[in-house]
Structure 1
Amino acid sequence: MKTALCSKSVNGKERTKMILIQIENTILSIVNSLYNNNKFMIDLTKLSSWSNRVYSNNKQLITKTLVFTTKRSRTKFTIIIYILSKIYKNLITNNSCTTRELYYGNTTLFKHDYIVRKALIDICCLLGTKSWELGITLTSNGLVAGSLMIYMYNGRIFDCSKNIEGIQIPQDILEIQDFKSSAKYILIIEKNASFQKIINEGLLKKNECSFIIITGKGFPDINTRLFVKQLSRKLNIPILALVDANPFGIEIMCVYRFGSNTMFYQNDMLSVPSIKWLGVYPTDIESLNLTSISLTDLDQARVKSLLKRPYINSNKKLLQQVLMLHKLNKKAEIESLTNFTQTYLTEVYIKRKILNQEFI
């Protein structure tokens, strides 16, 4: 018998009502700022500040102020108000739209679709809500394959073992009622190419160590991260991450595991601290003599950024790997493991790591 995983809240209507009131209060606050300061103003959380990631009861978040009369802030101010109006309409009419639909609805204002996503992050902080509560459906690029059945509230069932290329992670994660799986491990894979290679080499057909494999096709979107979070809650099996031995790969592993700086306010719903790093490690570059190239200036800047993260400095083994990356000044990709044999990744590397429990 299936049990509810992401149960639809009986207080969903009350929650929507609260968000509507928050939007109304926000607009009222903006109008009051004109009355009190002779200018339209909005205070937003400063998402670039790592100090905002540290929580305490008496801690005040660092904020920034958008002023409509300031040329630099005017466009962003307009975008925030525009999207708030769309959210309000969606919630009032019980409708939804995608981020892409928002973008194409006013390309003159947005210029690029990523501007919509950035504005939604600001709005979630402003309203104290999760992005999936706003009537905005987030596009899912992630794929999943392996020993997993997904049961939806509408009666649909997805068998992730049937599609040889994996199936797309459902767009509305909150419509998932339950999971069923006999897998022993969940393996998050950074890139789609490696995801497909692992499928083609038959790892999912090995009965002695069945897997669910997931890829976010690079930097994971919210839906992919939320999906991994829900799997971790329900299945209670080890989750491992396979990424490139480079700053970007380590960053991706950290986003799944610890959350992202820009979305710190949703990290309780998105991060999975129990995730372990399976590889590829910077130390593998020398120990396995992997094909590598020098770090770029951008790579070095990202390494320095990683070394400032509290969760890196508090984990000795993670810190050692990042320091090794900096010392070697080299990076390697998952594909470099084929230097030995074409199937070294699945037949040797992954199996050995799991057998010896070599995780960070």
Structure 2
Amino acid sequence: MVPTTINTIKIMKIAKNAHLAPPDPDQESRKFSSIIKLISYLARKLPSGKITTKRDFHYQDVNLFQNQEYSNSIIDLFSTSLNISTQENLLIYSSQKGLCYGNCKFSLNNQWFDLTYNSAPILIPHILSNHILTFTHPPIAIIIIEKDAVFKSFTTYLTEFSPSSNFLVVTGKGFPDKLTKKFIELSSANLNIPILTFVDSDVYGLSIFKNYMFSNSAYLENIILAGVFLLEYTDGWLNITSLDLRRMIGLVKSTSLQTHLHKELVKLHRELTRSLLLLKKSEMNVINHNCSHYIFSKSLEYLKK
């Protein structure tokens, strides 16, 4: 009987130490009200088949949700509990982030988008798994630009200096969201053209390139690290910081194990090791048209290969 007594005492101590506070009635009431608000919102929106955003739902009752993070958690809780997709089943997406611009026309699920250099960039449209993307006036290349400011500068450059060119220019404004990556993935599957990617030659820009490369379902075969390169773009040289250094070493280690997957990862690894040797990084900037001219010239150079 002694072991039983000892075990009982241990259990009592554990129970005492692991005492859980009772749920906060106010918080539970808020959560319940939020879920009812979501069900009511879906009952109105789903029959129409129209896509909505998490931001739209948040504005249904700002006083109840108080912040975007909380309303997002309600949507995630609801979809996880029912084991359904927030996008495919509830038709609720995160707010669009990526932009596209060009001289081409494409159709997505029978909705046409006519891009011209004379019009402003558009938000990348929402894409469902059964949507079909087709081009009637296909571009000669997709150009991905890391930074929004550089993207805007380059679109102005194309309008002024190369109105007859035919590029599809995309930016994810830093690290791309799933929608931007899906758009590039579908475009790549539809078009047998290169994807020329321009990022800073630093640990953040090169990490963004890897993020694009390894898309939502697989890595992109025809993606190219087109610039900027440390030894080519000295105008953008900056000293690397101690934080840069730590992150670069981690990225070098992970990339060294992946270089066999894609030849462009060899370029990426080379840029990192050069940066570690020189203790320099190179960032794209929008001073005059230097950066835009660099992107345009490098794009033409790759297309001639």
Q: TM-score by structure 2 length?
A: 0.69
8 Å CA contact retained: 2:150, 2:292 = no
8 Å CA contact retained: 2:46, 2:91 = no
Partner residue in 2 for 1:268? 217
Partner residue in 2 for 1:64? none
Aligned 1:151-300 pairs, distance under 5 A: 151-153=107-109, 156-161=111-116, 163-172=118-127, 175=131, 177-202=133-158, 206=162, 210-259=166-215, 267-268=216-217, 271-281=219-229, 283-284=230-231, 287-300=232-245
Tell which deviates more after alignment, 120-129 or 290-299.
Answer: 120-129
Residue 306 (str. 1) matches residue 262 (str. 2): no
Residue 101 (str. 1) matches residue 63 (str. 2): no
**Code of the aligned partner of 1:180:** T
Structure label with greater radius of gyration: 2
8 Å CA contact retained: 1:148, 1:212 = yes
Which whole-Å CA distance do the structure 2 matches of 1:112 and 1:289 have between them? Answer: 43
Deviation at 1:348, TM superposition (A): 4.8
Deviation at 1:99, TM superposition (A): 1.5
- Where do 5+ consecutive residues of structure 1 fail to align? 1-67, 260-266
8 Å CA contact retained: 1:313, 1:319 = no
Deviation at 1:343, TM superposition (A): 3.2
Tell which deviates more after alignment, 125-134 or 215-224.
Answer: 125-134
Q: Deviation string for 1:180-236 (max 9, x for gaps)?
A: 234211101111211121121226963785311111122212211111111101112
* RMSD (CA atoms): 4.2
Tell which deviates more after alignment, 100-109 or 192-201.
Answer: 100-109
**Residues 123 and 277 (structure 1), Cα distance of their counterparts in 2 relative to 1, 3 Å cut:** farther
**Residues 163 and 115 (structure 1), Cα distance of their counterparts in 2 relative to 1, 3 Å cut:** farther
Deviation at 1:353, TM superposition (A): 5.6
Q: TM-score by structure 1 length?
A: 0.59
Deviation at 1:114, TM superposition (A): 5.3
Which whole-Å CA distance do the structure 1 matches of 2:256 and 2:75 have between them? Answer: 26
Deviation at 1:288, TM superposition (A): 4.2
Which whole-Å CA distance do the structure 2 matches of 1:168 and 1:132 have between them? Answer: 20
**Code of the aligned partner of 1:213:** V
**Code of the aligned partner of 1:139:** S
**Code of the aligned partner of 1:276:** I
Which whole-Å CA distance do the structure 1 matches of 2:201 and 2:36 have between them? Answer: 41
- Where do 5+ consecutive residues of structure 2 fail to align? 1-19, 260-264
8 Å CA contact retained: 1:150, 1:159 = yes
Deviation at 1:356, TM superposition (A): 5.4
